[in-house]
Structure 1
Amino acid sequence: MEQKGTPPDQEGDTGAAGKRWLWGRPPLSGLLAIAVAAMALTTLVLQATVGGFRVDGPAPPEPPPPTGGWTPPEGTVRIMASGDSRVQGSTGDHTWRYRLWAHLTGDGGADVDFVGPRDDLFDPVADRYGDHRYAVADFDTDHAGAWGSTAREVAERIGREVVDADPHYLLLLVGVNDVVRGADSAEVLERTRDIVAAARLARGDIRVVLGEIPPVWGTEDDQTVNAAIGEYNAALPALADQLARADSPVVVARTAADYAPADDNWDEVHPNARGEVKIAAAFADALADPLGLGRPYPRPLPDVEVGPTAAPGGLRVERTADGARVSWDGVPGATRYEVFGRRVDPDPEERASRGDVAATADGGTAHEVAGLFAGAVYEFEVRAFKGQDPGPLSAPVRVELADDPPPAPEAVRAGDGALSWEAAPGATHYAVWRRPLECPTLDPGDCAPADAGPVGADTGWQTVAVVRDATRLEIGPEQANHEFAVRSHRDYLEGGFSERVVYRAAD
């Protein structure tokens, strides 16, 4: 038996990175399986030569199925799901295997044992096998699916897997990788036939359910790929009829029926929770009728949430020189995150996206947010995505950008038609305040400030201008007989007032 949590026993490409895997010494059961697989290969060559396994060739005569259909074996029924990434699933998935297991052991009323050489998921972010972070881990996770597998590769290993696991039922979902890599429908059908033949050499009375290939969406050549998939699915019932025997039925699960990849996949190929339910329901229906195991999946299908099941936790935010750094704990299954933020005080604003962050293999998750205003309070939230599907929003976290205020402007001067001053370090803008002088007589020379108290609205001062990117304000004759003061600001932080300066008509 294969060791769980390891790559499949094959020499072809097995993952997104096209890695090649080698195996160590197999156990005794594996040695037996290798011998069986070798016999299977020899037999398949002979059978292919005489044409007995071709869709367009004559089918060997088989006795009809038992009257009234098939019945499951007594006792616990062993089921092995085999195929590619759509069988194995990826980090954070429920998987359709879970949906089917939950149905069979619940409403389906069946006593089942899922079997196979693996029990893991594939981590697409880290590009590795051996992940066990299921959305729901409390189910029978054994299976024989492997990320990146083609139907040819499944045919090469299925004999050993059946010998080791001895399943009563084989559920097959495979072929998309063959098509994506250029195989036409006839080639994939031939490889599917090889899988059934090899499985039967290991167990002659195995009951087989062939899943249709669900369509893809968002690849570079959807039309061509889905056309080949459609041809394969259309020919699958004829292949099942040819291969069916009274002691070893072969039936088709309508896993592509009503499958909408734009809604039911989280990426181009792989099912989200909605797609998982549709695939599980199709296999459940085929097992129930005509194979007599369990009950059909209840309709209408449940409306399930897609995307990561958990919200990002441990949200933290800290001030940086250019804004704030938001960090959080990674979510199993997330392929990216979106950071949302808003100013809550002063001048509250609507929540808006502050950037996307790709998930990393080491789980590190953080984002630098720039363009924030000193002296304001901000609120941040984070949402995890699996592909295009969003998960729940995190709890919010707030930060106040309480910096030190800028110093007061210095060297304020009024004359020659302008008010000017020296820049205050750290200031983003300046507010110019003005108050009229008190003139007890008609002589302008008698005009003077009312008092030497602080500048403020309650003492007759008012803001007359806000100056950005400059340290000068033009003032005309109408500004004569006023006193001025300039206040520095850093965003929402108020700095100090400059010394006051008087502007008279003669200036």
Structure 2
Amino acid sequence: MLRLMPVGDSTTIGSAGEHTWRYRLWQHLCTAYGGPFTLVGPRETLHDPSADAPTSYAYADPDFPRAHLAGWGEGWHHMTPLIGEAVRSCRPDVLLVSLGLIDLGFYTNAEQTAGNVRAFVAEARAAGPRVRMAVMPVVRNIRVEADESFAEQVTRFNELLAKTVADLDEPGSPLLLVPPPESYDFHTDTYDGTHPNETGEHKIAGAFAEAMWRAWDLGGPYGVA
């Protein structure tokens, strides 16, 4: 059975009442992937805005494997110390990683964040030497319009991420840079300038799905279900 672990920040964990892109990807793979698969991870909940805590199970459709390693306000900075144990305990074949916005916004600059990517990959491989990783660059949010230095850091980090993925890619544990969805627009594909709405969920799921299909022949072309 193919085991996929979504690893991410608030755009991956999602909020109470949402489907999440994790659900959209699962829905797609149910149709496009020819073998058994599941989503794995040490966490299952959504973020609950009223409690400001990851305590909600109120998915718009809870009938899917809800496991993940994602957290509201968490980035490479937070996930690097956790990924080794998560890989050991949950035994994923593929990590679907979408991180960096939080790091650049609050914790580390582009170069430091790229250093954390290298540490993350090393920790994941130490726990699972053959694990595959599909990594999405930072998807720009509304802050880039008001904060020029932040926008520059996002651009710089995405450049460094592409180089890091290329440098660390190896046949036994491939790294895949996921092209961010070309049509993604934070004005229309989010509900607040950062967090994806229904169209945004589909576009993020579609980006992961298309990348894995083209690079690894896993699944098939993404179609909105």
Q: How does 1:124-203 map to 2 (within 5 A)?
A: 124-181=49-106, 183-203=108-128
Shift of 1:258: 2.6
**Percent identical residues:** 34
2:186 is matched with: 261
The one-letter amino acid of 1:280's match is A
- 1:217 correspondence with 2:132: no
1:182 and 1:206 map into 2 onto residues whose CA distance is 27
Deviations 1:37-68 (A, max 9, x none): xxxxxxxxxxxxxxxxxxxxxxxxxxxxxxxx
Unaligned runs of 5+ in 2: none
- 1:86 correspondence with 2:1: no
Preserved CA contact (<8 Å) 1:90 1:124: yes
Shift of 1:222: 3.8
Preserved CA contact (<8 Å) 2:144 2:151: no
2:61 and 2:75 map into 1 onto residues whose CA distance is 27
2:144 and 2:49 map into 1 onto residues whose CA distance is 17
The one-letter amino acid of 1:235's match is L
Preserved CA contact (<8 Å) 1:110 1:294: no
**SS of equivalent residue, structure 2 residue 115:** helix
Preserved CA contact (<8 Å) 1:85 1:146: yes
Preserved CA contact (<8 Å) 1:117 1:165: yes
1:257 and 1:195 map into 2 onto residues whose CA distance is 27
Which residue, 14, 18, 23 being the options, matches 1:98? 23
- 1:205 correspondence with 2:205: no
2:214 and 2:144 map into 1 onto residues whose CA distance is 34
- 1:274 correspondence with 2:199: yes
- 1:238 correspondence with 2:160: no
Distance change (3 Å), C-alpha of 1:92 and 1:206: same
Which residue, 34, 43, 53 being the options, matches 1:109? 34
Distance change (3 Å), C-alpha of 1:217 and 1:116: same
**SS of equivalent residue, structure 2 residue 41:** coil
Preserved CA contact (<8 Å) 1:240 1:250: yes
2:88 and 2:32 map into 1 onto residues whose CA distance is 30
Structure number with bigger Rg: 1
**SS of equivalent residue, structure 1 residue 263:** coil
Shift of 1:108: 3.7
Distance change (3 Å), C-alpha of 1:188 and 1:256: farther
Preserved CA contact (<8 Å) 1:199 1:206: yes
- 1:286 correspondence with 2:196: no
Distance change (3 Å), C-alpha of 1:105 and 1:189: same
Shift of 1:271: 1.1
Unaligned runs of 5+ in 1: 1-75, 303-507
Deviations 1:148-194 (A, max 9, x none): 11211100110010000010001111111111115222221111111
Preserved CA contact (<8 Å) 1:216 1:261: yes
The one-letter amino acid of 1:287's match is M
| Larger helix proportion of the pair | 2
Normalising by the residue count of structure 2, what TM-score does the alignment of the two structures yield?
Answer: 0.93
Shift of 1:125: 2.7
- 1:250 correspondence with 2:166: no
**SS of equivalent residue, structure 2 residue 51:** coil
Shift of 1:218: 5.0
Aligned residues: 225
Deviations 1:194-219 (A, max 9, x none): 11110000000000101111111157
Deviations 1:280-312 (A, max 9, x none): 0010012112122111213xx67xxxxxxxxxx
| Larger strand proportion of the pair | 1
Q: How does 1:261-340 map to 2 (within 5 A)?
A: 261-298=186-223
1:203 and 1:169 map into 2 onto residues whose CA distance is 10
Deviations 1:431-464 (A, max 9, x none): xxxxxxxxxxxxxxxxxxxxxxxxxxxxxxxxxx
**SS of equivalent residue, structure 2 residue 24:** helix
Preserved CA contact (<8 Å) 2:143 2:150: no
**What is the root-mean-square deviation in Å for CA atoms of aligned residues?**
1.8
2:195 and 2:152 map into 1 onto residues whose CA distance is 18
1:127 and 1:203 map into 2 onto residues whose CA distance is 33
Which of structure 1's runs of 4+ aligned residues deviate more than 4 A?
none
**SS of equivalent residue, structure 1 residue 122:** strand
